[in-house]
Amino acid sequence: MKPVRFLAVTFALGACHPGSVTDPAAETASTDEFKGKIAKTFAESTEWWPEKKQAPKDAPNVVYFLIDDAGYGTSSAFGGLMETPTLDSLANHGLRYTNFHSTAICSPTRAALLTGRNSHSVHMGLFPVTATGFPGYDGILPADKAAIPQILRENNYSTYAVGKYHLTPINEITPVGPFDRWPLGIGFDHFYGWHLGHTDQFRPNLYEDNNVIDVEPNHKHVTTLLADKAIKYIANQRSLAPEKPFFLYFATGATHSPHQVEKSWSDLYKGKFDKGWDWYREEVLQRQKKLGVVPANAELPERNPKVPAWDSLSADEKKVYARYMEIYAGFMTHADHELGRVVNYLKEIGELDNTVIIAIVGDNGSSPSTQHGSLNPYISGLDSNKQVAEALKNIDKFGTEQSFSDAPYGWTQATNTPFRQWKADANSEGGTHNGLILFYPKKIKTPGIRNQYGHVNDIAPTTVELVGAVVPESIKGVKQKPFEGTSLVYSIDDANASSRHTVQYYEIKGKRAIYKDGWKASVYHVPGTDFAKDVWELHNLTEDFNERIDLATKNPEKLKELQDAFDTEAYKYNVYPLNDGAKSGTRARSAFGKKDKIVLYNGVDQLLNFSGPQFLEQSFAITADVDLSTAKDQGVLFATGGAFDGLSLFVKDGKFQVAHNTGSKIAHLESKQALPAGKVSLKFELTYVAPPEKSPNTAPAGSEAIFINDAKVAEREITAADIKYIASYKDGIDVGADLNSPVSDRYKVPFRFTGKLKSVTIEYK
């Protein structure tokens, strides 16, 4: 016999029933701490109110500003050629930290930033979407290592987050939660942003607090929306609770792909990168020396083997690559402008001087995309020798909502100047060395440079010390463990103070390193190779800050000392077991697990693709049960993905149609006959046949068919290229509409279904 489920729903219809009884024990428990006097009448009684929490005396507001995927040589604040006047101003009136480090990749950096602990220690060794069942990698932030918003809220701060979060377990990003590890669950009063690693900048997957937001097209750029919301939060807070300080976490989508920004911003850089990436590296290095953010004797490492010399490129390649960089730079400058709006607002309301602003220019180094850059999945899927020509035909689309742009390898290395390698290379300064700016007028009297070693896990303890907060012994009944980072406050008044953060490990997908007292041992692990055969390097960062000289063979004793230190840290902080083959987006990690049948009802909120049903390399059927009252009924029944890849089932012109978008190349199936009136079953079926291993994209991979009331009405064969684009990371899963961007060019979003849609059933075979 199946268990009976009960859904508890309470309706408030008015006053209590006169015959209702209140539990006296409950009332007694609620008055245990009452310190007034209760008599029979109000006149004989004495009121008492519990004392309100108080923030530390003169506690400042705190703003964290985090830019995504920005190498050390991007922003002008650290010598880059991307103009960032707001960051420049904050740095010129504050401190530039030149020896600051991230974890080399998105989620681990954010986990360490917000908790003050090592990323593996708080179970975020990689991404939530790659979670595995080990303490360092399950993606579940532990309750005994509370995040900075929880700590500050316990100290009577208002707390707000806008932008990229990227810390929620994938199976929990649903309209029914659980919400314990959403932003509000870790201490934020309000959240406005997105959960995954990136989102379309013009058509984002947005959430507010614990709710999905339906964003119609043609709205503002998402970074502008974030600044608008941040200012609104601050306005409400200062108006209604001026006695409280606030904490704002502002994490942009810039400069993670997709590089999208209004043309007015990218055109600021028209022609400014025509000299190429080799020139950029040399120019930036000289600017960095002039600023004092690199040693005066610094030299550039050799060009990465993947990157050709700029002078060896064709005229078409130069034109395409330079335009990618113009978009990239405009994207960064626009993000800086939106931060400037928040900073100017704080100045207007008289709060800027009483605000700590901690700006981190990059949660890791700049990100490597492809040799030629990427405009959309279709062009990136072409043979290498065809990509530039096709991109050139579409160059006017770069940076627009019709693009999902990212820059070529050459610009990745250039924007990481003066370091080698890039994002995800945890072994390299190019992956982990980022700029840090600390602005606090009340504390910093003499702006300047600080060279002390720092790590992203230092920011939370720095914040606690700066504001005079107290870390509670317990939060929500859970005893707290200490920070693992080191406060940087000691360095504010003493530029020559010795570094207090003396040991720090790094690890991402088996690439690993250990820093200790100015020395660094590291290994570039190639996925799929034997960890035991990895070859370690050794660098004296005091003399060789950008890792040009390998001392491993000359100083094996020091190398062994550091290897042992890595082992100690790795066991201590949950780094083991090493895993170089972590995969994203499997059915098992979704909210539905490996259920063979999923029923979605009309009215369900949008699901993220990794959280919802998965369709990668799998036979499946999608059936929509509808009631067509008129021949004019139309709209989307089910959609997954968007304009760059995905699948959509819809009714239009009286026909059942399916669009399969494989990287902006769209194939349609359409019924020839008109749909009957009344209750109708509309089914899409994909039969997958695994192509030969290492097969080309054109290899057969099965077929697709559509059915009306179980009668097949259209069919086509599919290729290996088709099947891989049904698991989109670029949009969501919608029932009864297609939100954000359209899968098909035959309709405009949201194209809501006008008939009656009972449910959509997904069945795996």
Write down the pLDDT at residue 725: 78
Of the pLDDT bands very low, low, confident and very high (cuts 50, 70, 90), residue 584 is confident
- Residue pair 763/687 in contact (Cβ under 8 Å)? The answer is no
Write down the pLDDT at residue 326: 98
Calpha distance 126→103 (Å, rounded): 10
All structural domains of the chain, each given as residue ranges with its CATH number in brackets, are 62-491 (3.40.720.10), 503-573 (3.30.1120.10), 587-764 (2.60.120.200)
Helix (H, G, I), strand (E, B) or coil at 602: coil
Decide: residue 584, CB within 10 A, 0-12 exposed, 13-18 middle, 19+ buried.
middle
- Residue pair 369/407 in contact (Cβ under 8 Å)? The answer is yes
Calpha distance 117→145 (Å, rounded): 8
- Residue pair 129/170 in contact (Cβ under 8 Å)? The answer is yes
Please name the residue that has the structure tokens 């075979």.
Answer: 765
By percentage, how much of the chain surpasses pLDDT 70?
95
Cα–Cα distances in angstroms (integers) from residue 360 to residues 153, 215, 290, 486, 574, in the given order: 22, 29, 21, 17, 26
Task: Say which residues have a Cβ less than 8 Å from residue 446's Cβ, sequence separation at least 6.
Answer: none
DSSP 170: G
Per-residue model confidence as pLDDT tens digits over 319-333:
999 999 999 999 999
Of the pLDDT bands very low, low, confident and very high (cuts 50, 70, 90), residue 727 is low
Write down the pLDDT at residue 588: 86
Calpha distance 63→75 (Å, rounded): 19
Pairing of strands 635-642, 620-628: unpaired
Calpha distance 676→679 (Å, rounded): 8
Average pLDDT (1-8) is: 45
Q: Other CB atoms closer than 10 Å to residue 338's CB: what's the count?
A: 23
Please name the residue that has the structure tokens 């060279």.
Answer: 451
Q: Other CB atoms closer than 10 Å to residue 220's CB: what's the count?
A: 14
Within the chain, how many helices (H) and strands (E) appear? Answer: 15, 29
pLDDT surpasses 70 at 508: yes
- Residue 124 corresponds to which amino acid? M
Of the pLDDT bands very low, low, confident and very high (cuts 50, 70, 90), residue 31 is low
Decide: residue 594, CB within 10 A, 0-12 exposed, 13-18 middle, 19+ buried.
exposed
Please name the residue that has the structure tokens 């360092």.
Answer: 136
Calpha distance 700→489 (Å, rounded): 61
C-alpha R_g of the chain: 28
- Residue pair 724/695 in contact (Cβ under 8 Å)? The answer is no
| Edge-to-edge strand list for the sheet holding 732-735 | 607-608, 732-735, 635-642, 645-652, 655-662, 666-670
Phi-psi region of 109 (alpha: psi -120 to 50; beta: other; left: phi over 0): alpha
Calpha distance 341→228 (Å, rounded): 9
Per-residue model confidence as pLDDT tens digits over 168-184:
999 999 999 999 999 99
- CA 516, distance to chain mean position in Å, is 30
Q: Other CB atoms closer than 10 Å to residue 714's CB: what's the count?
A: 19
- Residue pair 472/151 in contact (Cβ under 8 Å)? The answer is yes
DSSP 285: H
pLDDT surpasses 70 at 19: no
Calpha distance 509→500 (Å, rounded): 28
Tokens of 433: 């060395």
Pairing of strands 448-450, 95-101: parallel
Task: Say which residues have a Cβ less than 8 Å from residue 226's Cβ, sequence separation at least 6.
Answer: 162, 163, 192, 193, 250, 252, 338
Please name the residue that has the structure tokens 């003066």.
Answer: 418
Write down the pLDDT at residue 726: 79
Helix (H, G, I), strand (E, B) or coil at 589: helix
- In 18-169, which ranges are continuous DSSP H helix? 24-30, 85-92, 106-115, 148-154
Per-residue model confidence as pLDDT tens digits over 517-568:
999 999 999 999 999 999 999 999 999 999 999 999 999 999 999 999 999 9
The rounded mean pLDDT for the chain is 93
- Residue pair 457/117 in contact (Cβ under 8 Å)? The answer is yes
pLDDT surpasses 50 at 744: yes
Residue 318: phi and psi, rounded to 5, are -60, -40
pLDDT surpasses 50 at 15: no
Average pLDDT (736-762) is: 96
Of the candidates 133, 159, 137, the one whose C-alpha atom is nearest the C-alpha of residue 146 is 159
Calpha distance 436→458 (Å, rounded): 11
